[in-house]
Structure 1
Amino acid sequence: MPILPRVALLLAACLAPATLAAAPDRAPQDVSGRVLRATGTTTSGEGIPGIAVSNGIDIVRTDAQGRYRLAAGAGQTVFVVKPPGYRFAEAADGLPAFWRTVPADRTAGAMAIDFTLVAEDRPAVSAPEVLLFTDSQVKSARDIDYYRRDIVEPIIGRHPAALGVTLGDLVDDQVQLYAALNAVTVRLGVPWFHVPGNHDVDPGSTGDAASLATWGATYGPDTYAVEEGDAAFVFLDDVVVRPGGTGYVGGLREDQFRFLGNYLAQLPRERLLVLGMHIPVFDTGGRETFRGADRARLFALLKDRPKVLLLSGHSHVQQHYWHAAKDGWQGAAPLHEYNVGAACGAFWSGAPDAQGIPDATMADGTPNGYAVLSLRSGGGYALAYHPARLAAGTQAFTPAMALHAPRVLRRGAYPAWGVFANVFMGDAGTRVEYRVDGGDWLPMRRVERADPRLLVENVADDVATALRGFDRSPEAVPPTHLWRGALPTDLAVGEHRVEVRAFDRWQGEAVAATTYSLQEAGP
Structure 2
Amino acid sequence: MNPTRTRALRTSLGAALAGVTLLAAPAAVADPGGQPGGPHRGGDWNQEAFRGDVEVVPGDDASATTLSGVVFDDADRDSTQDAGERGIEGVSVSNGRDVVTTDSEGRYELTVEPGMDVFVTQPRGYQVPVDEDNVAQFSYTHLPEGSPDLKYGGIEPTGALPEAVNFPLASSKAAKHPLQNCIIGGDIQPYTASEVGYAAAGAFTDLAAREDYTSCGALFIGDVVGDDLSLYSGVREQTARLNGPARFLPGNHDLDFDAATREHSVDTYRSEFGAQYYSYDVGKLHVVALNSIEYPVGDSYNGSLGDEQLEWLRRDIAQTPQDRTVVVASHIPLLDYADQDSTKHQVDEVAEIHEILSGREAIALGGHTHSIENLRAGDSLAGWRENFGIEELPFTHLTAGAISGDWYSGELLDAGYPAAIQRDGGVPGVVTLEARGGQIAEHFTQRGDDGSNQMNIGLNTPSYRDWFDTYRDSAGEAPALETAGTVAQSGLGETWLSTNFWMGGSGSEVQVSIDGGPVRSAERTQAMDGEGQHVGAEWSDPEAVQQQLVDGGNVADRSMHLWRLPMPEGLAAGAHTAEVTAVGVDGQATTETFEFEVTE
TM-score, scaled to structure 1: 0.84
Partner of 1:516: 596
Residue identity in the other structure for 1:297: E
1:419 and 1:82 map into 2 onto residues whose CA distance is 48
SS at match of 2:327: strand
1:249 matched to 2:302: yes
2:521 and 2:137 map into 1 onto residues whose CA distance is 51
Residue identity in the other structure for 1:176: S
C-alpha displacement of 1:144: 0.7
1:340 and 1:365 map into 2 onto residues whose CA distance is 14
Q: Residues 186 and 403 of structure 2 are in contact (CA less than 8 Å); yes or no, is this contact kept in structure 1?
A: yes
Q: How does 1:493-504 map to 2 (within 5 A)?
A: 493-504=573-584
1:110 and 1:100 map into 2 onto residues whose CA distance is 10
- CA shift in 2, pair 1:499/1:427, >3 Å: same
Q: 2:72 aligns with which of 36, 42, 45?
A: 36
Q: How does 1:405-484 map to 2 (within 5 A)?
A: 405=459, 406-410=484-488, 414-447=492-525, 448=534, 449-461=539-551, 472-484=552-564
2:432 and 2:169 map into 1 onto residues whose CA distance is 25
SS at match of 2:493: coil
C-alpha displacement of 1:174: 0.8
Q: Residues 409 and 489 of structure 1 are in contact (CA less than 8 Å); yes or no, is this contact kept in structure 2?
A: no
Q: How does 1:266-277 map to 2 (within 5 A)?
A: 266-277=319-330
Residue identity in the other structure for 2:547: E
- CA shift in 2, pair 1:496/1:264, >3 Å: same
Residue identity in the other structure for 2:88: I
C-alpha displacement of 1:516: 1.6
C-alpha displacement of 1:408: 3.3
- CA shift in 2, pair 1:215/1:109, >3 Å: closer
1:89 and 1:512 map into 2 onto residues whose CA distance is 43
1:355 and 1:291 map into 2 onto residues whose CA distance is 34
TM-score, scaled to structure 2: 0.74
Q: 2:446 aligns with which of 387, 391, 404?
A: 387
Residue identity in the other structure for 1:387: Q
Q: Residues 57 and 258 of structure 1 are in contact (CA less than 8 Å); yes or no, is this contact kept in structure 2?
A: yes
Q: 1:183 aligns with which of 220, 231, 237?
A: 237
Q: Residues 341 and 369 of structure 1 are in contact (CA less than 8 Å); yes or no, is this contact kept in structure 2?
A: yes
C-alpha displacement of 1:103: 4.7
Partner of 1:62: 102
2:349 and 2:252 map into 1 onto residues whose CA distance is 18
C-alpha displacement of 1:198: 0.5
2:492 and 2:391 map into 1 onto residues whose CA distance is 48
Q: Residues 295 and 301 of structure 2 are in contact (CA less than 8 Å); yes or no, is this contact kept in structure 1?
A: yes
Partner of 1:9: none
C-alpha displacement of 1:226: 0.6
Partner of 2:414: 354
2:131 and 2:548 map into 1 onto residues whose CA distance is 45
Residue identity in the other structure for 1:57: R
Partner of 2:257: 203
C-alpha displacement of 1:323: 6.5
Partner of 2:46: none
> What do the CA deviations read for 1:447-492 (whole angstroms, capped 9, x no partner)?
241111122123424xxxxxxxxxx222222111111123335345
Q: Residues 236 and 275 of structure 1 are in contact (CA less than 8 Å); yes or no, is this contact kept in structure 2?
A: yes
C-alpha displacement of 1:240: 0.6
Partner of 2:405: 345
1:407 and 1:79 map into 2 onto residues whose CA distance is 56
1:40 and 1:510 map into 2 onto residues whose CA distance is 47
> What do the CA deviations read for 1:295-316 (whole angstroms, capped 9, x no partner)?
232233222x231111001001
Q: Residues 489 and 518 of structure 1 are in contact (CA less than 8 Å); yes or no, is this contact kept in structure 2?
A: no
> What do the CA deviations read for 1:66-123 (whole angstroms, capped 9, x no partner)?
2222221344221110012111112354311111123515676762111111112658
Q: Residues 431 and 503 of structure 1 are in contact (CA less than 8 Å); yes or no, is this contact kept in structure 2?
A: yes
1:490 matched to 2:570: yes
Partner of 2:314: 261
1:446 and 1:342 map into 2 onto residues whose CA distance is 24
Q: 1:104 aligns with which of 140, 144, 167?
A: 144
1:187 and 1:223 map into 2 onto residues whose CA distance is 24
C-alpha displacement of 1:364: 0.9
1:123 and 1:275 map into 2 onto residues whose CA distance is 19
Residue identity in the other structure for 2:223: D
SS at match of 2:257: coil
* RMSD of Structure 2 on Structure 1 (CA): 2.6
1:109 and 1:173 map into 2 onto residues whose CA distance is 31
2:258 and 2:406 map into 1 onto residues whose CA distance is 24
SS at match of 2:234: helix
1:414 and 1:290 map into 2 onto residues whose CA distance is 40
Residue identity in the other structure for 2:353: L
> What do the CA deviations read for 1:401-460 (whole angstroms, capped 9, x no partner)?
111135334457643323211000112432111011211110112224111112212342
Instruction: Work out the number of aligned pairs and report it.
Output: 476
1:287 matched to 2:342: yes
1:236 matched to 2:252: no
1:213 matched to 2:267: yes
SS at match of 1:187: coil
- CA shift in 2, pair 1:389/1:108, >3 Å: closer
1:86 matched to 2:126: yes
Residue identity in the other structure for 2:445: H
Q: Residues 127 and 375 of structure 1 are in contact (CA less than 8 Å); yes or no, is this contact kept in structure 2?
A: yes
Q: Residues 35 and 62 of structure 1 are in contact (CA less than 8 Å); yes or no, is this contact kept in structure 2?
A: yes
1:302 matched to 2:362: no
SS at match of 1:339: strand
Partner of 1:375: 435
> What do the CA deviations read for 1:187-211 (whole angstroms, capped 9, x no partner)?
1121111111000001333432211
Residue identity in the other structure for 2:566: A
Partner of 2:455: 401
Partner of 1:115: 167
Partner of 1:469: none
Residue identity in the other structure for 2:507: G
2:418 and 2:255 map into 1 onto residues whose CA distance is 26
Identical pairs, percent: 26
Q: Residues 299 and 330 of structure 1 are in contact (CA less than 8 Å); yes or no, is this contact kept in structure 2?
A: no
1:493 and 1:416 map into 2 onto residues whose CA distance is 16
C-alpha displacement of 1:345: 0.3
1:428 and 1:515 map into 2 onto residues whose CA distance is 28
Partner of 1:3: none
1:266 and 1:231 map into 2 onto residues whose CA distance is 14
Q: Which has the higher contact order (CA 8 A, sep 6+)?
A: 2
> What do the CA deviations read for 1:118-163 (whole angstroms, capped 9, x no partner)?
1126585432010000100011110111111100112314231122
Q: Residues 171 and 177 of structure 1 are in contact (CA less than 8 Å); yes or no, is this contact kept in structure 2?
A: yes
Residue identity in the other structure for 2:400: V
Residue identity in the other structure for 1:361: I
Q: Residues 376 and 395 of structure 2 are in contact (CA less than 8 Å); yes or no, is this contact kept in structure 1?
A: yes
Q: Residues 299 and 328 of structure 1 are in contact (CA less than 8 Å); yes or no, is this contact kept in structure 2?
A: no
1:307 and 1:374 map into 2 onto residues whose CA distance is 15
SS at match of 1:143: helix
Residue identity in the other structure for 1:346: D
> What do the CA deviations read for 1:17-73 (whole angstroms, capped 9, x no partner)?
xxxxxxxxx993122222221347456632222221111111122222222222213
Q: Residues 58 and 259 of structure 1 are in contact (CA less than 8 Å); yes or no, is this contact kept in structure 2?
A: yes
1:291 and 1:124 map into 2 onto residues whose CA distance is 33
1:455 and 1:282 map into 2 onto residues whose CA distance is 25
SS at match of 1:28: coil
